[in-house]
Structure 1
Amino acid sequence: MRINDAVPKKGSRSRRRRVGRGIAAGQGASCGFGMRGQKSRSGRSTRPGFEGGQMPLYRRVPKLKHFTVINPKHYTTINVCKLASLPADTDVTLTTLMDVGIVTANDGPLKILGEGDLNVPLKIKAAAFTAGARQKIEAAGGSCEVTEA
């Protein structure tokens, strides 16, 4: 048995309410909506979430602080000081760093951060660079290439 099989027995449904057909019908004149006002008019009274002109909850909530990002970007991050142990003119990617053992886990695309010093020219291919990291790599004679994340 499914939920769509649970229907009333034939002939057991009550007839629909006929409103506005005189006082004897039980729902004459105002049809059970009271005398006057927004909720007595024809059609839908107000849309869902309407708060009488006040800024509704669904519009004011995202303006508040400390809401989490829905789809955050996760990067495998590494500082430039960790790259100083590599030989000069090495092609640096996430796979080469994992092979060498500098990075142990793949947590997403590679991002280079700028903490520490670098004095070895390297050819680095990563998804993102901080401004400080890019400056230190290029000052050491290396190159920064942004790849697709």
Structure 2
Amino acid sequence: MIAFRPLAAADFPMLTGWLAEPHVRRFVQKTPMTLEDVATKYGPRVRGEQPIICHVAQSDGADFGYLQAYRNRDWPDAADGQTDGISLDLHIGEPAFLGRGLGRAMLDAYVRGLALPHFAQTTAYIAHELANTAALACSKVVGFTPLREFVEDGEAMLLLRLKL
């Protein structure tokens, strides 16, 4: 069973560690972040100063992943210019939780049970590098369908959409 709790400032050391993990660095956070960097970036989100929701995913009470969602109209450069619906970002931080189907479970539970209802939306977008075949497969199993390819920061990406 997957549960979610809001990200808190007390989670910043854990999040800093996750962002330094090789599997996260490969596709999510390519440049190193210090604890101060994480506090600067995620602090406004935790304090409600930005229109974005951030959560920690738990399995049997153990923290293992990070998720965030935001309305696309609030972030014009999100979702390759889409203005409808919401966008999601996520990663499994704890290496011991990789390869167990938890990415699929947390994405499905989060998008349908928390993110879309929170923003009163019926459309969600997610983008992955084309080389991130595990994330692409996960999103497709959850029901996201390919929309179009685009380039972000020099990387070939695929934008996927879920419509309820």
Higher relative contact order (CA 8 A, sep 6+): 2
- TM-score class, shorter-chain normalisation, is under 0.3
TM-score, normalised with respect to structure 2: 0.24
TM-score, normalised with respect to structure 1: 0.25
Q: Which has the higher strand share?
A: 2
| Bigger radius of gyration among the two | 1
Q: Which has the higher helix share?
A: 2
